[in-house]
Amino acid sequence: MISIIKASVFKLFRDKTFMVTMIIGGGMIVLMSLLYYAIGTLSGNYVLLACTAPGSNFTLTIPINLIVFTVGEFTYGTIRNKIIAGINKTKIYLGLFITGLIFTFILLTAYVSLMVAVGSIFGGFDAMKIGGGQFVGLYIVYTICTYVFVTALSVFFASLIRAIGGSTPIVIVMLVMLSLIPLFTFIAKFASHDLTGVNHWSMWINPLFMNGFYSNDVVSLFSSAGFNIDVYKQSWDMILAGILTPLVWSAILVGFGILIFNKRDIK
């Protein structure tokens, strides 16, 4: 297993797509920083919430590149050669998933860290504006769990369909819609000013709930609606849902991915 992961990671870092994505990320940091500065919202705390949503901006390149890399493993015969060499299919799939996690968190950490650093340099970082240090810590944990799911979803459909054109639209549409559901459900309750049970069912079903719920769009709606509540206050329900929901869905996707991968022939 370790040798499979090492080989995949070595190949990943030599892949031109990875290098292009890093360059795009650098350009996005400059572009988004200028945009936030122009609208007067450039700060570390604002950027932290703005740049971590899976369905927007640079983060969309992560599942796209995961799909390109995974499909390439099938297209160029790498998977077939591993099977011929006698490597267990379960280990091969887990190797794809773990390599995907490494790829995801290298890109995400680099992008978010630099964005928050730039925002903090020019606008400061006031954790109290987003619920204090405890919320910031929890939000980082939510984001980590969220991107485990993004990786599992991308690898699952890439290995299932084995075509970039077929799997990319499915994954991107799913991520965008799941990210927007908290906004849609909040708008539905917007007129009544009743937050009782808003999104409660969604946070136990939707693996992207937390990142979507605390996006700047939803938080801005809370403020403009005049709700006299602590938006960032975390109940145990929210904490558990934010951690468990994406991880449970990830486990389901990896489990089904392994099952399907073991039963299908590799041409």
| Contact partners, residue 207, CB within 8 Å, separation at least 6 | 146, 149, 178, 245, 246, 249, 250
Q: Is 67 within 8 Å of 171 (Cβ atoms)?
A: yes
pTM: 0.90
pLDDT for the residue 189 = 61
pLDDT for the residue 229 = 54
> How is residue 202 written in tokens?
């969604």
pLDDT for the residue 63 = 92
pLDDT in tens, 162-200: 999 999 999 999 998 898 887 776 666 655 555 445 567
Q: Is 154 within 8 Å of 63 (Cβ atoms)?
A: yes
Give the Å distances, CA to CA, from 70 to 121, 152, 153. Answer: 37, 12, 12
pLDDT in tens, 128-144: 888 888 989 999 999 99
> How is residue 260 written in tokens?
């399907």
